[in-house]
Amino acid sequence: MNSAQGRQRTDFRTESEINLYVDGIAANGMRYGAVFELQMDVLQPSGFNGASSGASTGTGVDYDELYGFVKGSWGELRFGQEDSAASLMQVRRPSVLWMGTDDAWDEFTVNSVNGTPYIMSGVNDGNDASKIIYLSPQLAGFDVGLSYSPNRFEGENFLNPSNTVAFQRDFTGLTNEISAALRYRGTFGDVGIAASFVAQFADAARQSVNGTPIAVKAQNVTAYSGGLVVRAFGFAVGGEYTWGNYNGSAPAGASLAKGLDGSKHWVLGGTYTIGALGLGVMYGSGTQDNGANVEDRTQTYLGIGAQYVLAPGMTLFANWNQIEDKNVPFGSVAATGTTLAQFGPGDNTRNIQVLVGGVRVAF
């Protein structure tokens, strides 16, 4: 894009996670413990032509989730690095392994400044900022969840008392992140139903990186999403609709500049499972405001995929992903407009086709 060379057309990737669960039961029946989820993170490998980051092998490991918990008949309380209540409980479109509007295909694309690869993800998109979460027990098919995070940072925060800028860190990004979810799961004869309504809110940054107040503060973040999935006789059909004042790849993940309209997306999906074979199809569309006199960014997605359980814990999968991405921003977006990425003379539309195939081993 914008005179960039095309990338290699084929590639192999390796991904891994190790999950450790430690739990116990107190004399009063309360369960307690901790979860440690280690992941081989997205780190730049040796040979990358750019700034160095992480392990040179591309196989560096860090924590994805890391939290403690206590639970009983009253529900469960989690504390630490974990997804928000909305992210944990949101009902999204059905899919087969590694296929979706925000799944594996984006790792094989080149992206411009502020040109996030996808704009149709789940609320919060799995951000694991340190937080406290309450998940209720299920009652008549319904359960609720609440979470709070003071900011979007995780891990330790070692402040240098001789550096006044360090103390301003928390107000340079989103703060006071509150998330809530209501979910229903039940069966009626041979028909299973899952539905949810979730929301997430946060205050926009109010200070620059050097601690000075931001003159024109962005809009506070709001994100809402409703989802429904119906399952029967091997079929599953459903979808999601998400909207709110946010920007970027994740609903509730970034604030929207003052004067911009809110973002939205919808996705429909269906799967069919017979024995070890699963088939899936998905279609969706999302829009985000690009400011005055510039057409909205509009992204559409079509995916077709299959998965096959070859042996216990071993699944083969393949999917075809086709994305049309119109008016991708090449810089920051403001109410006055933005610069659009170019994919040829006078061409602001990016067409992406990605075929993904692989094997997943889980035990």
What pLDDT shows up at residue 113? 57
The two structure tokens encoding residue 207:
């200070």
On whether residue 119 sits in a domain, the answer given is yes
Angstrom CA distances, 155 to 17, 48, 204, 279, stand at 18, 27, 21, 39
C-beta of residue 181 within 8 angstroms of C-beta of residue 227: no
- Residues pairing with 241 in the sheet: 226, 266
The two structure tokens encoding residue 256:
């929207």
On whether residue 42 sits in a domain, the answer given is no
What pLDDT shows up at residue 18? 93
Domain range for 204 is: 73-361
On whether residue 185 sits in a domain, the answer given is yes
The total number of structural domains in the chain stands at 1
Query: What is the pLDDT tens value at each position of the chain, 363 positions in all?
Result: 555 566 678 888 888 999 999 999 999 999 999 999 998 865 555 444 444 445 556 778 888 899 999 999 999 999 999 999 999 999 999 999 999 999 989 888 877 656 678 999 999 998 889 999 999 999 999 999 999 999 988 877 655 556 655 555 668 899 999 999 999 999 999 999 999 999 999 999 998 877 789 999 999 999 999 999 999 999 999 999 999 999 999 999 999 999 999 999 999 999 999 999 999 999 999 999 999 999 999 999 999 999 999 999 999 999 999 999 999 998 889 999 999 988 888 899 999 999 999 999 998
CATH code for position 100: 2.40.160.10
What pLDDT shows up at residue 171? 86
Pairing verdict, β 130-135 and 142-151: antiparallel
10 Å CB burial of residue 62 (0-12, 13-18, 19+) is middle
On whether residue 134 sits in a domain, the answer given is yes
- Residue located via tokens 């790792």: 107
What pLDDT shows up at residue 52? 45
Report long-range pairs for 261-266 (Cβ below 8 Å, ≥24 apart). 261/289, 262/222, 262/289, 263/119, 263/287, 263/288, 263/289, 265/101, 265/119, 265/120, 265/241, 266/239, 266/240, 266/241, 266/242
Rounded distance between C-alpha atoms, residue 232 and residue 190, angstroms:
6
What is the pTM for the complete model shown? 0.92
Count of CB atoms situated within 10 Å of the CB of 147: 26
